[in-house]
């Protein structure tokens, strides 16, 4: 299928991007990898007169460590994340999940910023970054702001980014010492049907759970955290996590807000959320006690 004609702008600085956004307001779109954007344009679901390529803005693709956080530039590609020594050291789970986004061609081209700004509900990164308390940095001429990921993603293809703002980076806090985590993604299609991110922080003796984060994505309009379940998990001996897995997973399943779509009914997704929350607990419980989980589940990637 052919793309409709458009003008391509290739600015070399953020201020030039801002100028072009202002000049072509309402008739343009920011373009990086294009792995999502060009599909919409082919289908004529998005009609713009121009694209503004942000890949020539220097430094926007860098991954850097900063005050105990890691900052991933918006035009860093999935493959850059897979290979980044900074990311592997600070947030190994993110580098590992990046290896399983879509396929190698999409990972070579698609960017982190594009993935988040596009806000497809079936996104691994949004779910994972939500579990990591990620914040999105939005820049406009004269200022920038950091928006927590949970507020940034408002719904399907909808974000808190204003029309004159540019998503320039996502900031993730490095894992606290003693954190054990997993990300499970399930699906038979190119995009995941369900993603569960679970991270458990253990005390110095590695016996007691002192922190927990759980996020579920892809089943509803936006990824969700489950603070009440996270609180419930705290104070457990790690060896008791499994004994309480049904209750914890049930808490997640009861609170999740799935929707019907081509991946399945809301009811089905709620059931699968329960199943996969329990599986995530099993994997983490095994890893927390020093064993690598040998669990294998059909149509599932275990990171």
Partner 1 sequence: MPDSGTPSSSSLAFRVNGRAVELDAPASALLLDVLRDRLGLKGAKRSCDVQVCGACTVLVDGAPVSACTYLAVEVDGREVSTVEGLADGDHLDPLQEAFIARGAVQCGFCTAGMLMAATALLAEDPAPTPERVIHYLRGNLCRCTGYRKVIEAIVACGRAGRGRQ
Which residues of the chain form contacts with partner 1 (CB under 8 A)?
A: 1-11, 16, 19-20, 34-35, 38-39, 42, 50-51, 79, 99, 102-106, 108-109, 190
Quick one: 104 or 237, whose CB is closer to partner 1?
104
**Beta strand 69-73 pairing with 63-66:** antiparallel
d(CA 297, CA 303): 12
d(CA 268, CA 235): 31
Quick one: 3 or 234, whose CB is closer to partner 1?
3
Question: CB 145 → partner 1: shortest distance, Å?
Answer: 24
Residue 161 DSSP one-character state = -
Residue 60 DSSP one-character state = T
Quick one: 63 or 202, whose CB is closer to partner 1?
63
Quick one: 34 or 121, whose CB is closer to partner 1?
34
Question: CB 61 → partner 1: shortest distance, Å?
Answer: 14
Question: CB 39 → partner 1: shortest distance, Å?
Answer: 6
Residue pair 38/79 in contact (Cβ under 8 Å)? The answer is: no
Residues 6 or more apart whose CB falls under 8 angstroms from that of 105 comprise none
Quick one: 6 or 268, whose CB is closer to partner 1?
6
Residue pair 127/161 in contact (Cβ under 8 Å)? The answer is: no
d(CA 135, CA 143): 16
Question: CB 87 → partner 1: shortest distance, Å?
Answer: 19
Question: CB 98 → partner 1: shortest distance, Å?
Answer: 13
d(CA 226, CA 212): 10
Quick one: 107 or 171, whose CB is closer to partner 1?
107
**Beta strand 50-53 pairing with 28-31:** parallel
Quick one: 42 or 228, whose CB is closer to partner 1?
42
Q: How far is CA 272 from CA 127, 241, 276, in A?
A: 16, 19, 6
Question: CB 183 → partner 1: shortest distance, Å?
Answer: 16
Residues 6 or more apart whose CB falls under 8 angstroms from that of 12 comprise 56, 57, 58
Question: CB 221 → partner 1: shortest distance, Å?
Answer: 22
d(CA 258, CA 272): 10
């Amino acid at each position: 299928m052919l793309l409709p004609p458009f003008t391509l702008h290739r600015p070399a600085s953020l201020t030039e991007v801002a100028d072009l956004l202002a000049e072509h307001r309402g008739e343009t779109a920011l373009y990086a990898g294009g792995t999502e954007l060009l599909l919409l344009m082919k289908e004529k679901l998005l009609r713009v007169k121009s694209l503004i390529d942000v890949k020539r803005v220097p430094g926007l693709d860098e991954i850097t460590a900063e005050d105990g956080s890691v900052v991933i530039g918006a035009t860093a590609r999935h493959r850059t994340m897979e290979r980044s020594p900074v990311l592997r050291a600070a947030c190994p789970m993110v580098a590992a999940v990046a290896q399983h986004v879509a396929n190698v061609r999409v990972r070579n081209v698609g960017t982190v910023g594009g993935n988040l700004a596009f806000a497809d509900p079936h996104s691994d990164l949004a779910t994972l970054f939500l579990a990591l308390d990620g914040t999105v940095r939005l820049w406009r001429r004269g200022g920038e702001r950091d928006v927590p990921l949970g507020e940034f993603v408002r719904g399907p293809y909808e974000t808190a980014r204003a029309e004159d703002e540019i998503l320039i980076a996502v900031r993730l806090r490095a894992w606290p010492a003693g954190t054990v985590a997993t990300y499970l993604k399930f699906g038979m299609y190119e995009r995941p049907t369900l993603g569960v991110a679970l991270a458990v922080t253990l005390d110095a003796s590695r016996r007691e759970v002192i922190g927990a984060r759980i996020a579920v994505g892809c089943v509803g309009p936006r990824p969700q955290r489950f603070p009440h379940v996270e609180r419930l998990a705290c104070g457990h001996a790690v060896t008791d996590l499994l004994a309480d897995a049904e209750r914890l997973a049930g808490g997640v399943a009861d609170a999740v807000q799935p929707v019907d779509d081509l991946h399945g009914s809301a009811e089905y997704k709620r059931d699968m959320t329960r199943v996969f929350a329990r599986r995530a607990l099993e994997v983490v419980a095994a890893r927390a006690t020093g064993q690598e989980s040998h669990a294998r589940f059909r149509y599932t990637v275990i990171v």
